[in-house]
Structure formats: structure tokens, C-alpha cells
Amino acid sequence: MFPETPAQASSRVDAAIPVRAGAGLKPEHISEILETKADVGFFEVHAENYMGAGGPPHRQLEEIRKDYPLSLHGVGLSIGGETSLDKEHLQRLAALNKRYEPGLFSEHLAWSTHDVTYFNDLLPVPYDQPTLDRVCDHIDEVQEFVGRRMLLENPSTYVAFEQSTMSELEFLKEIARRTGCGLLLDVNNVHVSCTNHERSAEAYLSEFPMQEVGEIHLGGHAPDVDDADRPLLIDAHDREVDEAVWALYEQVIQHVGPIPTLIEWDNDVPTWPVLLSEAKAADQVLRRNADPDIRHAS
């Protein structure tokens, strides 16, 4: 990647992510964001969209970085894959972290690779000891290579593995304990998975290790039904945050206090004012639950 100049680095706002709502950064919104000086806490970008050396994407992102903190979210590392991590991918991640100094860096608990094939999807993993050991080894490698703590996002799931020997919560807690990584709590993923597996989202969240959470994601999901005509939710990121997800989010923030929160909207992307209105709604939840007696430990 092209190195930045000292002047570029010194012209930026502080890297720290404020305890506010942010939005996923979309190229079609950048001009309006810069022109209007949009009042939003931070922006999050998918690391894989910025792994080239230069060009318009980096020029635009550098302009955004002057005015806003960034969160870097990876979707292609294949933390849960059976093969070794891609060293070139790791090098690009490390370079992006160094270049933009994001306040947060996160990845998915998923796999995307098999042999030499890369699947453009975030596929679930079984919750068993061999997978736990492999995921922990991969996270250790990432954190050592990049030189910083990573957040791991809970998945949205549609099937359960017969070979699983522990719950998702037990799996996530043990990963955090063994690696020292943080967690990214996707509340929409919780609602999607619990609906699909006919479990209680409230019970899941009551046992989630909130002390490890460094960021929250909110997004929209698409309703469907399975072959047995039971409710099936798809983590589509193609619409507004559902009311049920807003209710779960408010419960979380009431319990643990404000946490930096991202609005995800990756498909059928709306106009910037629509996306900004979702971020403002999350900001309202954070403000009305900003009780000084509640402290979020991360």
C-alpha cells in the first residue's frame, strides 16, 4: 500500500470510537456526508473493499478519516476455516490498520474457504473442541500479526451441527477467555438465530459476556418460512432495523450502559438521510440510557 505522509496523519480527528451510533460507509454517500458534515459518531468499512494500493476508494476514505473515526470490519479472513489463514490477507489487514488507525477492528466467527476455494459467504462453524482450538489459534495469530486486539462477532445461523458439544455462548466465552479478544455483539444476529432455532433471544442476551463487548451491530433482516412453514429470518442487511431488534437493543443498553453502535445496511442501500435516521434512532437509545451509575467495561 502507498504510505501516507505525516501531514495526512496529523490532519485526522482522534482515532477513538465515541460512545455513539455510527453507520456503514457507502461510496454513493461520501460526497453528501462530506458536504453536509454529517453528525454521526463514526463510520465502519469492510476491510476487503480497501485492500488495493490506492485509487479513488483510498482517496475518499482518507477524506472521511480526516473528520470521523473509523471502525475496520473484516468479512473474509475465514477465522473458522480448517486451513491456515491467508498470510497475504493478514498483511493487507495489518497495513490497513496502520494506514487508517481505526478505533476498532473486528471479524466474523465464520469460515469462507475450503482447499483453494473462497466462498463469498459467512458460513457457520460447529461448536466443538477441535473448532474451538482452531479458532483460538487463528485469533492469536491475527492479534499478534496485526498488533492489536480484535473483536469477534457472533454469527447469524440457520442450521445446528449434530457434532456441537457446547452452546454458542459457551464457545464465545471460552474464545474470549483464551485469546483476550473482545466481542462484537450483533443484536440482529441474536434475534435471527434465536428465531430460527426457536430459542429465547432475551435468555441468550442475559448470559452474553457483556464485559467483553466493544461494539454493537444493528441491521435489518428478511422474514421467510422454512419447509415446515415455521418462521425463518435471513440476515439480509437490506432494510430498516426491525422493532423486535430495537427492543432487544434497548434492553441491552439499559442493562450495561451505552456502547458504540453501528447501523449495517449493505444491500438495497437507501439514500444517506434514511441511513442517518437509523443512526440517530440508535443515538437516542444511547442518550436516554446514559446513566452515570451504569458503566460499560470493555
Segment holding 73, helix H or strand E: strand 70-73
Kindly report the number of other CB atoms within 10 A of residue 282's CB atom: 26
CATH number at residue 178: 3.20.20.150
Strand 104-108 with 70-73, pairing: parallel
Does any domain span residue 261?
yes
- How big, in percent rounded to 5, are the helix, strand and coil portions of the chain? 40, 20, 40
Does any domain span residue 1?
no
pLDDT < 70: residue spans in the chain: 1-10, 111-122, 291-298
Separation CA 146–CA 25 (nearest Å): 23
218: CB partners within 8 A, 6+ apart: 186, 187, 188, 241, 245, 246, 249, 261, 262, 263, 264, 278, 282
Show the cell assigned to 238. 437490506
Range of the domain at 204: 6-288
Does any domain span residue 298?
no
Does any domain span residue 200?
yes
Instruction: List phi, psi (to 5°) of 71.
Output: -115, 135
Q: What is the pLDDT of residue 10?
A: 54
Separation CA 158–CA 194 (nearest Å): 9
Does any domain span residue 15?
yes
Mean pLDDT of the chain: 90
Does any domain span residue 124?
yes
Q: What is the pTM of this model?
A: 0.90
Side-chain-facing half-sphere of 119: CA atoms under 13 Å: 13
**What radius of gyration do the chain's Cα atoms show?**
19
Q: What is the pLDDT of residue 291?
A: 64
Q: What are the DSSP calls for 152-170, one per residue?
A: EEPPP-S---TT--S-HHH
The closest alpha carbon to 188, from 229, 236, 231, 232, belongs to 236
Kindly report the number of other CB atoms within 10 A of residue 122's CB atom: 18
Does any domain span residue 280?
yes
Q: What is the pLDDT of residue 230?
A: 87
Q: What is the pLDDT of residue 227?
A: 84
Q: What are the DSSP calls for 117-156, one per residue?
A: EEEEEEE----SHHHHHHHHHHHHHHHHHHTS--EEEPPP
The closest alpha carbon to 277, from 37, 40, 30, belongs to 40
Separation CA 125–CA 128 (nearest Å): 9
Q: What is the pLDDT of residue 161?
A: 78
Q: What is the pLDDT of residue 75?
A: 87
Show the cell assigned to 129. 473442541
Q: What is the pLDDT of residue 111?
A: 57
Q: For residues 92 and 61, is the Cβ–Cβ distance under 8 A?
A: no
Does any domain span residue 122?
yes
Strand 231-234 with 222-225, pairing: antiparallel
Domain count, the chain: 1
Q: For residues 154 and 252, is the Cβ–Cβ distance under 8 A?
A: no
